[in-house]
Amino acid sequence: MARFTQYTIADAPEASRPLLQQVDKALGFIPNLYATFAESPALLQGALGLDAGLDQGALSGVERQLVKIAVSTENGCTYCVAAHSTIAGMLKARPEIVNAVRTGVPVSDAKIDALVRFTRAVVRNKGFVQDGETAAFLAAGYTKAQVLEVVGHVAAKTLANYIHAITNAPLDAAFQPQRWDAKQLKVA
């Protein structure tokens, strides 16, 4: 496997430096996966831009994190499950709901369960979800705009999941308490 560098602001490619500064300012540190993205300033800028745009959508912060956890479990990304579980906790997501998404069991909240089921269907079917799956998501109280936002989050998180699969960026100490293993997933 090719070894990839986790850059700092000081040693990153010049065009990545201000982007890493933004990440550091927003999170208080630069996660190793973003530090790896910095190898390609275009990738880092695109990923941050897509996330920033989607953050302006109609899904709540907790809902966005649950979508990202669901995508990452489906794609087997240990790094992103741990990172987004940590962020979900910081946003005061209910621990039992985060755990249900991490392990693939139904969520006790019917609306959130519909969100997670729809997200998993988008990932598993590569966007070719059945009309009934979309209808169930809408019937749970979500909107057509949120259908599209879920797809946007799936795309953004799949990008990060695949980059991690290729680069194997080490899990940051901040995310270690939420370490995850694909064996925890109970979804077939």
Residue pLDDT, tens place only, 19-34 = 999 999 999 999 999 9
pLDDT digits (tens, 9 = 90+) for 149-163: 999 999 999 999 999
Output the pLDDT for position 183: 80
Residue 129 and residue 164 in one domain = yes
Domain final position from 54, 77, 103: 54
Is residue 50, in this structure, part of any structural domain at all?
Answer: yes
Last residue of a domain, one of 5, 31, 54: 54
Do 24 and 116 fall into the same domain?
A: no
**Best CA proximity match to 168, nearest among 29, 72, 24, 32:** 32
Q: Measure the CA–CA gap between 53 and 138, rounded to whole angstroms.
A: 22
1: in domain: no
Shared domain for 48 and 70, answered yes or no, is no
Is the domain of 49 the same as that of 69? no
23 with 75, same domain: the answer is no
Asked if residue 178 and residue 100 are part of one domain, the reply reads yes
- Is residue 169 domain-shared with residue 115, that is, in the same domain? yes
- Taking the C-alpha atoms of residue 50 and residue 180, their distance in angstroms, rounded to an integer, is 25
- Mean pLDDT for 2-20 is 96
Read off the pLDDT of residues 32-60 as tens digits, 9 standing for 90 and up. Answer: 999 999 999 999 999 999 999 999 999 99
Q: Which long-range contacts (CB under 8 A, 24 or more apart) does 37-45 make?
A: 37/163, 38/7, 38/12, 38/13, 39/4, 39/5, 39/7, 39/13, 40/16, 41/13, 41/14, 41/15, 41/16, 43/163, 44/16, 44/19, 44/20, 45/15, 45/19
pLDDT digits (tens, 9 = 90+) for 101-116: 999 999 999 999 999 9
In three-state form (DSSP H/G/I as H, E/B as E, the rest C), the secondary structure along the chain is CCCCCCCCCCCCCHHHHHHHHHHHHHHCCCCHHHHHHCCCHHHHHHHHHHHHHHCCCCCCHHHHHHHHHHHHHHCCCHHHHHHHHHHHHHCCCCHHHHHHHHHCCCCCCHHHHHHHHHHHHHHHCCCCCCHHHHHHHHHCCCCHHHHHHHHHHHHHHHHHHHHHHHHCCCCCHHHHHHCCCHHHCCCC
Kindly state whether residue 75 falls inside one of the protein's structural domains: yes
Same-domain status, 39 and 101:
no
Q: Structure tokens of 66?
A: 């649950």
Structural domain range at position 133: 61-184
Number of domains in the chain: 2
Q: Would the pTM of this model clear 0.75, i.e. be above it?
A: yes
